[in-house]
Amino acid sequence: MDIERIDQIIDKHHSEAGSLIQILLEIQSENHWLPKEAIERVSEKLAVPITGIQHIATFYKAFSLVPKGRHEVHICMGTACHVRGAGRILDTVQDVIGIKPGDTDQDLKFSLETVNCLGCCALGPVMEINGKTHGKLSTAETANLLKAYE
Amino acid sequence: MTRLNTPQELETFRQAIIAKRDPAKACISICAGAGCLATGAGEIIAAFKQEIEKQGLTAEVDTKGTGCPGFCELGPVVVIYPQEICYLQVTSEDVPEIMAQTIKEKKIIDRLLYVDPATGEKASFESEIPFYKHQKRNIICNNIKIDSRSIDDYLAIDGYTALAEVLTRMSAEDVTAEIKKSNLRGRGGGGFHTGRKWEGSRNDPEKIKYVIVNADEGDPGAFMDRALLEGNPHSILEGLIIGGYAVGAHEGYIYVRQEYPLAVENITRAVKQAEAYGFLGKNILDSGFDFNVYVHQGAGAFVCGESTALMTALEGRVGEPRPKYIRSNIKGLWNKPTVLNNVETWANVPLIINKGADWFTQFGTEGSKGTKIFSLVGKITNTGLVEVPMGITLKDIIYNIGGGIPGGKKFKAVQTGGPSGGCIPEELLDLEVGFDELTKAGSMMGSGGMIVMDEDTCMVDVARYFIHFLTDESCGKCLPCREGLRQMDKILTNITAGKGKTGDLERLDQLAETLTEASLCALGQSAPNPFLSTLRYFRAEYEAHINEKKCPALSCKELISYYIDPEKCAACMICLKKCPVDAIDGGKKKIHIVNQEKCTNCGTCLDVCPLRFSAVKKISGTPVPAPIPEEKRILSKGQEQ
C-alpha cells in the first residue's frame, strides 16, 4: 500500500487521534491487513505512539498484522449455527485446508476466521467464502465447496 | 435535493410525493435483507428489472428492494402490491411466470404460496400466514413498505412527522415527559427506563451533551437491530434527533459494527439524505435547533456493546469499560452527559411521539410496555424476526409463531438474552415475556435473541459454548472476568471432553459467584448465567457427563462413538466412500463397520446414510458392540442394495 493513499485516508479524517480506529479500518478494508509502514505513518501523522496503535490493532478483531490469503473463509459460530452443528463444519474446513482459525496457509491461498454471527440464522450452519454466503451446509458439501477454490 | 426549511415545506413536499404515487399501481417488493440476499434476492431483483424492461412495462410496474419482513425461513420473500400477494422461496426462474401470471393476468401462482404444514391450507397474503398473524408488528411492519435507500419512501409513510411535531409544538421537557409516561425501557439488554435516563442528562448543568445509538449488536443469534438499520434507517435517525432535542445535545453518534456492511452503508446514506433535506444541520425546520450525526464503525469487539466501553471506543481508544460510580448519562463520552440507547429503543421514539404514550402503554405488561422484536432461531420451524407484545408467553412465540420444533424432535430449552442470558426449560414455557419475568427465571431479556434447542442439544455444551465465547471477548481489564472465565472455560471443556472430575460443579459455582460479585462490568457480572441456569434446570446432564462419561444428548464429540447397526446396514457403500478418513471397512455386499481407532467422529456417515436404512447410530456412555464375525458380514442376494 503506498504512502500517498494512506495520507489521503488520514487527511479525510483531519488527522484526528479520535478517528484512529476509523483510519485503521479503512486501511484494513483496502489492503486486507495493516503493514508496518502504514502503522508507522499513522503514528507519525496522528502523533499516537506505535504501541498505542498496536494495542488497538491487537484488541479489535477486524485488524490483521499479517497478510491475508487470496480466499477468506469465515465460519459462523453464532449460537443458532452452533446448535445446528457449526463445530463439525469448522472441523471439516480445518481438515481440508489444514489451518486453524486466525491463520493463513503458507501459499497464501486461504485465510480462516470464525465469526460470532453473520445474522443469517435461518441458513445455519453458514460459511462465507470471499463474502459469498453458503448456508444449510453438511460436512460433505463443505469439503466439496472448498475444493473448487484455487 | 432541496432543503426543507420549515414544517410547512416538509408537509407540502410530503403531499407532493404522495400525490405522485398511484396506490393502484403494481409494485413488486423483494426482501433485500441479509438472509434473503444470501439466498439469491439480488439475482431476483435484477431478473424482475430485466423482465419488466423486456416487456416494456417500466411505466406500469415498480420494483423495490425492501428491508427484512422477518420471515427468513422461507426467503426470498416477494410481495406484490396493491393486492399484497405474498410469494415465498422465490427463485429468479420464477420471475417470468410471476410477470405473466400475476402482474399481467392478475392470477395467483399456487405453488409459490405459503402452505400451512399442519392443515395443508394455502395462504395468499401475509396477514393469513400464522407466522405473521400472531405478531403485533408496530416497528418492523414498515420494513417491507419502503425502499430503505429512499428518504422519500420514508416521508410517504409519515416519516419525520414526529420530528416536526416535537420541534414546533413540544418543549424538551414535554418530550421527556411523554417518553417517561410511555414507560419505554431500554431494548438493548439492561431494561433501564429511557425517560429517566434522558431526564438525568437533561438536568445536568454541563452545556455539551451527546446522544448515541448503540448498534454494536454482538449477541450471536440476534439480528433485529441489523434488520432495522438495513430496512428502516430513518426511523432510528428520527428517534435520535428527537432524543438530542429532548436532552439538549447537538451531536449524535451511531456506533455500528463493521461486520454489518449493508447496515453501515444504509445508515450512512440516511444521514447524508437527512442532512440534504435539512433534518440535520443548523436550524432544523426553522426551530433554532442544531444537530449533527456521525457514523462510527466498530472494529469487532463484543465488549464494546457495553455502554462505557463503547464510549471509550468512540474516543478512538481500546474499548475497555470503566466502573459506573457515576452513570454515563452524567459523565459519558469525553466526560460529558451522554444518553446511549439501543437501535430498537430509538426506533420506538417516533412512534410514541406520533401515537402518544397512552397508545404505547396499551401493549405489554405492568413492568414492560410496548412490543419487542425477537430473533427466533435455532431448532425452530420458522426462523426469523418476530415482533410481539410484551407479556406474550414463550409457548405462543415458539409454537404459534415459530411453528414448533422441526423433524418431530422434542423441545428442550430456549436460550434468551445472548451470552449473558440463560436457558429456560419446558416446564417454564408458560412464562410471560418481560424484563422482570425473564430475570426471575434466571435468564434475561437481553437484546432479544431467542435460541430454541431440541433434544439433540447438549446443555453442558451450550454453557461451555457461551463461557468460551465470553472468555474470548473478555477485554482483560479486570481479573475476576479475565481469569475466572478462563478457569470456567477449562473446567467445562474438560467435562464435555469426558475429563470431568468430582468437585468440578462446586468449583464452577465458586468461580461463578466471584465473577458475579467482583467483575467490573456487566459482561463479567452476568457471564456465569449460562452455566448457572443450565445447572439449575439440567443438573442431571452435568452429572451424566462427569460420573458416567456420557452425553445424554449424544452431542459432545469426545463422548460419543459412531456405530453401524449390522441388522440395518445394506452395504450400499455410500458412507464408505464419503468417510474423509477411510475409517469404514466393508465392500459391496459386505456389511460396513466403523474402525473406531481411525474414526474422528465427524458424523459424515450419519449424514449420508439413506433414511430408509438409518443404519448409523451414535452411542454414548456404553461401549461400542464388538464387530460381528467376518462370515456373517456377507449379504446374500436380496439383502443388498
Is pLDDT above 70 for B638? no
Q: Which CATH number fits domain B560-633: 3.30.390.50, 3.30.420.10, 3.50.50.60, 3.30.70.20?
A: 3.30.70.20
On whether the CB atoms of residues A139 and A90 are closer than 8 A, the answer is no
> Domains in chain A: how many in total?
2
Same domain, A35 and A78: no
On whether the CB atoms of residues B295 and B256 are closer than 8 A, the answer is yes
Report the distance separating Cα B467 and Cα B487, nearest Å: 10
Q: Which helix (H) or strand (E) holds A133?
A: strand A132-134
Same domain, A55 and A75: no
pLDDT digits (tens, 9 = 90+) for B370-399: 999 999 999 999 999 999 999 999 999 999
Determine whether domain B371-454 maps to CATH 3.40.50.2000: no
In the three-class reduction of DSSP (H, G, I as helix; E, B as strand; rest coil), residue B253 is classed as strand
- pLDDT tier for residue A139 given thresholds of 50, 70 and 90: confident
Q: What is the pLDDT of residue A118?
A: 82
Give the residue from B74, B375, B377 with the most A CB atoms within 10 Å of its CB, the best one to mutate: B377
- pLDDT tier for residue B362 given thresholds of 50, 70 and 90: very high
Closest CB from B221, B298, B319 relative to A80: B221
Q: How close does chain B come to A41, measured CA to CA in Å?
A: 17
Same domain, A125 and A82: yes
Task: Domain of residue A41: give its range.
Answer: 3-59
Report the distance separating Cα B473 and Cα A59, nearest Å: 10
The mean predicted confidence, pLDDT, of chain B is 93
Is pLDDT above 60 for B640? no
The side-by-side arrangement of strands in the sheet containing A127-129 is A110-115, A71-76, A127-129, A132-134
Same domain, A75 and A143: yes
Report the distance separating Cα A147 and Cα A144, nearest Å: 5
On whether the CB atoms of residues B596 and B535 are closer than 8 A, the answer is no
Taking the Cβ of residue A32 and every Cβ of chain B, the question of whether any pair is shorter than 8 Å is answered with no
Give the residue from B72, B223, B314, B609 with the most A CB atoms within 10 Å of its CB, the best one to mutate: B223
Same domain, A87 and A38: no
Structural domain includes residue A66: no
Is pLDDT above 90 for B2? no
Query: Complex ipTM above 0.85?
Result: yes
Q: Which CATH architecture has domain B151-361?
A: 3-Layer(aba) Sandwich (3.40)
Give the residue from B39, B297, B314, B317 with the most A CB atoms within 10 Å of its CB, the best one to mutate: B317
DSSP at B558 = G
DSSP at B371 = E
Report the distance separating Cα B160 and Cα B238, nearest Å: 6
Q: What is the pLDDT of residue B190?
A: 82
Same domain, A75 and A141: yes
Chain B residue at shortest CA distance from A124: B378
Q: B204: closest CA among B302, B323, B332?
A: B332
Taking the Cβ of residue A25 and every Cβ of chain B, the question of whether any pair is shorter than 8 Å is answered with yes
Is pLDDT above 80 for B125? yes
Greatest pairwise CA separation for chain B in angstroms: 93
Closest CB from A78, A95, A139 relative to B603: A139
In the three-class reduction of DSSP (H, G, I as helix; E, B as strand; rest coil), residue B72 is classed as helix
Given an 8 Å threshold on Cβ–Cβ distance, is A139 in contact with B259?
A: no
On whether the CB atoms of residues B605 and B562 are closer than 8 A, the answer is yes
Same domain, A110 and A141: yes
Given an 8 Å threshold on Cβ–Cβ distance, is A122 in contact with B383?
A: yes
In the three-class reduction of DSSP (H, G, I as helix; E, B as strand; rest coil), residue B384 is classed as strand
Q: B568: closest CA among B639, B622, B637?
A: B639
CB atoms within 10 A of CB B426: 13
Judging by DSSP bridges, how do beta strands B560-564 and B584-587 pair with one another? unpaired
Same domain, A78 and A141: yes
At residue A129, φ and ψ (nearest 5 deg) are -115, 120
Same domain, A33 and A78: no
DSSP at A69 = P
Chain A CB contacts of B465 under 8 Å are: 79, 82
Q: Which CATH number fits domain B459-547: 1.20.1440.230, 3.40.50.300, 3.30.479.10, 1.10.260.40?
A: 1.20.1440.230
Report the distance separating Cα B465 and Cα B468, nearest Å: 5
Is pLDDT above 90 for B635? no
Long-range contact set of residues B325-332: C-beta below 8 Å, sequence gap at least 24: B327/B200, B329/B197, B329/B198, B329/B200, B329/B201, B329/B204, B330/B200, B330/B201, B330/B204, B332/B210, B332/B212, B332/B307, B332/B308
Determine whether domain B23-133 maps to CATH 3.40.30.10: yes
Chain A CB contacts of B318 under 8 Å are: 55-56, 59-60
pLDDT digits (tens, 9 = 90+) for A50-109: 999 999 999 998 999 999 999 999 999 988 898 888 999 999 999 999 999 999 999 999
Mean of pLDDT values over B584-598? 93
Q: What is the pLDDT of residue B501?
A: 95
Report the distance separating Cα B225 and Cα B215, nearest Å: 7
Same domain, A117 and A76: yes
Going from N- to C-terminal start, the domains of chain B cover 23-133, 151-361, 371-454, 459-547, 560-633
Q: What DSSP letter does each residue of B409-465 carry, written as one string?
A: PPEEEEEESGGGSEEEEGGGTTPBPSHHHHHHTT---TTSEEEEEETTS-HHHHHHH
Half-sphere exposure of B202 (CA within 13 A, CB side): 19
Chain A CB contacts of B220 under 8 Å are: 77-80, 82, 116-117
pTM (2 d.p.): 0.93
Taking the Cβ of residue A21 and every Cβ of chain B, the question of whether any pair is shorter than 8 Å is answered with yes
Closest CB from A21, A82, A83 relative to B313: A21
Is pLDDT above 60 for B282? yes
Given an 8 Å threshold on Cβ–Cβ distance, is B220 in contact with A83?
A: no
Q: What is the pLDDT of residue B34?
A: 83
Chain B CB contacts of A77 under 8 Å are: 220, 469
Closest CB from B301, B375, B557 relative to A59: B301
Q: What is the pLDDT of residue B1?
A: 66
Give the residue from B73, B89, B258 with the most A CB atoms within 10 Å of its CB, the best one to mutate: B258
Degrees, nearest 5: CA angle A73-A76-A79: 170
CATH of the domain at A79: 3.40.30.10
| CA B472 to chain CA centroid, nearest Å | 21
Report the distance separating Cα B89 and Cα B35, nearest Å: 12
Judging by DSSP bridges, how do beta strands A127-129 and A132-134 pair with one another? antiparallel
pLDDT digits (tens, 9 = 90+) for B129-146: 999 999 999 999 999 889
Q: B197: closest CA among B236, B242, B246?
A: B246
Same domain, A88 and A111: yes
Q: What is the pLDDT of residue B118?
A: 82
Burial annotation B207-228 (CB, 10 A radius, 16+ → b, else e): eebbbbbbbbbbbbbbbbbbbb
Is pLDDT above 90 for B427? yes
At residue B523, φ and ψ (nearest 5 deg) are -60, -50
Q: What is the pLDDT of residue B602?
A: 86
Chain B CB contacts of A83 under 8 Å are: 378-379, 451, 453, 457, 462
Given an 8 Å threshold on Cβ–Cβ distance, is A123 in contact with B223?
A: no
User: Number of A:B CB contacts under 8 A?
Assistant: 141
Q: Is B49 exposed, middle or buried (0-12, 13-18, 19+ CB in 10 A)?
A: middle
Per DSSP, helices labelled H in B83-171 are 95-97, 130-133, 151-156, 161-169
Is pLDDT above 60 for B641? no
